[in-house]
Amino acid sequence: MQYSEAKERYIEAWGSLGSSWGVNRTMAQIHALLMIATEPLTTENIMEELKISRGNANMNLRALLDWGLAKKVLKPGERKEYFVTDKDPMVLATQVAKERKKRELDPIIKLLEEVSTVQGGNEEAKEFRKVTADLKGFAKQADSVLNTFIQSNANWFFKILGKLTR
């Protein structure tokens, strides 16, 4: 396969995969581009490569910075901002896990804490308490696992696999 074709397919696939790790298509594509770049890219580079507007490029770059998935680098003597991403997939996974935990898991645990205190002795209230309490317990376990993951090192997967299959 030719480089240009491979690159195109990879960027497109990464973009549509984006929604599965909670970011929009363009944001994921910019990330994909940074992953395979051999040196830091400017907003203009990204606009050209992905054929998107300046505003779009800017907004999604800021979102990537916000997620901790890209950072600015400065070149001495230049005013332009350059962007890079960490190329280690484990760092990517860790950052995504961290952000999604913060944005999704923490709020749902908080909500379940609240609603599972619902009053009432009728069947519906009882069932509601049971289900929401179960979900809360599960969410907290997931939270523990994520925390362990976020804090641990790059061999996490290997460790788990080793231990589980022992």
Partner DNA sequence: TATAATTTTCAATAATATTTGAAAGTTATG
Partner DNA sequence: CATAACTTTCAAATATTATTGAAAATTATA
Q: How far is CA 54 from CA 25, 41, 48, 139, 144, in A?
A: 16, 14, 10, 40, 40
Applying CB under 7 A, which of residues 3, 4, 20, 55 lies at the interface with DNA? 55
Is residue 141 part of the contact set for a copy of itself (CB under 8 A)? Answer: yes
Radius of gyration of the chain (CA): 21
* Secondary structure (3-state) at 38: coil
CB of 97 to DNA, least distance (A): 20
Applying CB under 7 A, which of residues 5, 77, 122, 158 lies at the interface with DNA? 77
Is residue 116 part of the contact set for DNA (CB under 7 A)? Answer: no
CB 49 within 8 A of CB 29: no
Alpha carbon distance 139, 142 (integer Å): 5
Total residues belonging to the chain: 166
CB of 79 to a copy of itself, least distance (A): 26
Is residue 1 part of the contact set for a copy of itself (CB under 8 A)? Answer: yes
> 65 vs 118, which CB is nearer to a copy of itself?
118
> 58 vs 97, which CB is nearer to a copy of itself?
97
78 binds, among DNA, a copy of itself, none (CB under 5 to 8 A by kind): DNA
**Could you say which DSSP state residue 85 is in?**
-
CB of 64 to a copy of itself, least distance (A): 17
CB 10 within 8 A of CB 49: no
Is residue 153 part of the contact set for a copy of itself (CB under 8 A)? Answer: no
